[in-house]
A and B are shown apart, each in its own frame.
Chain A
Amino acid sequence: MIIGATSAIAQEVARQYASPGCQLFLVARDESKLDIVKADLLSRGAGNVATACMDFSVASDFNTVLDNANAFLGSIDTVLIAYGTLPDQVACAESSDETLKALNLNLVSVISVLTVLGNYFEKQQSGTIAVISSVAGDRGRQSNYVYGAAKGGLSIFLQGLRNRLATKGVNVLTIKPGFVDTPMTKAFDKGPLWASPKTVAKSIVKAIEKNKDTLYVPWFWFWIMLIIKFIPEKIFKRMSL
């Protein structure tokens, strides 16, 4: 099951899984895009694909979507949550509405979905919950701390959920990508640190297979973030990051 299935990263993950033995249930907010992704995955050899529409910025009933997914798949062995937006930090700083909107989508709505999923997987006693957070959640920076706060909060929520489900046979994977060349980041100039969605997807699939807890992707972000986290706040607060 993929939630936010029209994201560039999620699409590449789905393509990695597109083989005759694999059934996919895709959730996203835009039906016409879902149709495109579905046709693509079927052409690439996916066993069967079903879709459901849901906009996560408005309160809607995730339970029904989950029931449909469960009915279609029989049981859900892996779920990936990939939707998100990169809010405009300047606009957020000027307006608490903007800030709340960003936090609602990137943090609150994800937690709401994870609450339902957590109980589903706990009951099932097996499976993997994989969620795309971000390296931006590892330390707050002036250039995107609203997004960072959402992702940081999400990472902490996932830690707790992992702790709760670890003894229940359920694996929780926190995915922390660095810079990925996707529609979300189209406004940025791309340098050597940028990765393609396909590279990122391959690592995600491997991490799911290996029951990893946290994935920095590409791997070098682990070291970059380690250094960034080590900078004393006294110095960090004066840096223009």
Chain B
Amino acid sequence: MSKYQSWGNIPVSHHSIIQPAWRNLNIEFNETGAGYLPYGLGRSYGDSCLNDGGVLFVTSSLDHFIQFDSNTGIIRCEAGVTLAEILDLVVPQGWFLPVTPGTKFVTVGGAIANDVHGKNHHSAGTFGCHVTEFELLRSSGERIICTTEKNTEFYKATIGGLGLTGLIISAEIQLKKIPGPKVISETIAFANLAEFFSLSDESDDKWEYTVSWIDCLATGASLGRGLFMRGQHTDQDTTPCKEKRTVSVPMNLPNVLLNKHTINAFNKLYFYKNQKKVNQNIGCYEPFFYPLDGICHWNRMYGKRGFYQYQCVVPLDDGAYITEQLLSTISKSKMGSFLSVLKKFGDVESPGMMSFPRKGVTLALDFANQGSKTLQLMDELDRIVVEASGAVYPAKDARMSAQSFQHYYPQWQTFSEYIDPKFSSSFWCRVTAAD
């Protein structure tokens, strides 16, 4: 199997690879078949970073920094630079990513193309909100410099544009000043969704980062119980962080390892372990932002069949009711999710035309691939989300129907005017296919 797959390992795809190494060199676009798609680190779960039968532009050699100004916090780099590399460079100098997803092993290009969000969405919006400029290479050979003032259509279409508008060559990002590498955080148990919403309301003004883990298998009175985590950068301890050793899952593990009993046990244990108190902690930023990055290839725990992610956002007005519906559908199905995450998105608007994050409450889950039963569950969740006028996150999707997608993103046709004629993806073919 080629190493260029997605994080969920579904669907397995085949590509030819082009790996540009120099941002100034021209690229020939001779391919006539399935076309081209940029590929960062494949941390998208589904097929939005895949282009079965076509060409992938693997960007890992476009890894040069162009300029970093430690006075202004403006960084310019090529699109294959990873967020991990940026952090290594800038944290010791008192800067941080304005927005970061739950893993630092993503590229700048990938972060723009999915317009990723983080635990500070309620205050900072998406990654795209902080991208001040980027260079976009089209298959015509044209290089378009996009900013909020120049070529704004391409700027908006490319942020959250799923890699379809061309190859992002380089970008400029405004970083955020921090007092030190440590984060002060609190973990608070909540017994149900009502408590989650009141904790959110109380915390979102005062805390820069908030996110919750929920026990998606709890039923009845415990439905929606979980742990609320909030944190912010602190100057209370400015000693540098030590490099941590990581462990790696060396190969795909047997499919049976993650079953409903182990998942249920994990969820219960995790909850009870943290339930008693408000847990306060000051520590390095890494375990707070990237709890899973300590285990390389953790996706292999799901075995060869891979797994699905499902992340949706629903409007806040009846957010509590809809979330409850989603959760009870899942707990009824008994197909538990190892890590279920709940968070309130804020109202900072993203420049991205197709961006997923919007004001509301977002729920993210992963499901081991158990075939049609898993697909049916997610279809059921889709029905609830469509009804609620919500949306599902393409970066984490490998299965939503064209109908659902077009419902979630009615602007898709306007967007498609900006798609490069020689670019395509497995995801895009799927969600725009006529019935």
Binding site for B on A (CB under 8 A): 8, 32-33, 36-37, 39-40, 42-45, 183, 186, 190
Contact = CB atoms under 8 A, between A and B. Distances in A.
Contacts, number: 34
Contacts of B67: 39, 42-43
Interface string B200-237: 00000000000000000000000000000000000000
A33 B19 contact: no
A32 B24 contact: yes
Interface in B49-88: 61, 64-68, 75, 77
Contacts of A43: 65-68, 75, 77, 89
A186 B17 CA distance: 9
Nearest to B21: A183
Given A33-B22, A44-B89, A39 B61 contact: no
B interface, how many residues as a size bin? 10 to 19
A205 to B, nearest CB: 16
A112 B61 CA distance: 31
27 contacts: A8-B61, A32-B22, A33-B22, A33-B24, A36-B22, A36-B23, A36-B24, A36-B64, A37-B64, A39-B64, A39-B66, A39-B67, A40-B64, A40-B65, A42-B67, A43-B65, A43-B66, A43-B67, A43-B68, A43-B75, A43-B77, A43-B89, A44-B89, A45-B89, A183-B21, A186-B19, A190-B3
Contacts of A186: 19
Interface of B: 3, 19, 21-24, 61, 64-68, 75, 77, 89
Nearest to A40: B64
Contacts of B22: 32-33, 36
A133 B270 CA distance: 53
A8 B64 contact: no
A238 B10 CA distance: 43
Q: Which of A36, A183, A190 has the most CB of B within 10 A?
A: A36
A39 B76 CA distance: 10
A126 to B, nearest CB: 32
B427 to A, nearest CB: 25
A27 B41 CA distance: 31
A8 B68 contact: no
A42 B67 CA distance: 8
Given A43-B67, A43-B75, 13 more contacts: A8-B21, A8-B61, A33-B24, A36-B22, A36-B64, A39-B64, A40-B64, A40-B66, A42-B67, A43-B77, A45-B89, A183-B19, A183-B61
Contacts of B68: 43
Nearest to A190: B3
- Nearest 7 pairs of A and B residues by beta carbon: A43-B65, A40-B64, A43-B68, A40-B65, A32-B24, A183-B21, A39-B66
Contacts of B89: 43-45
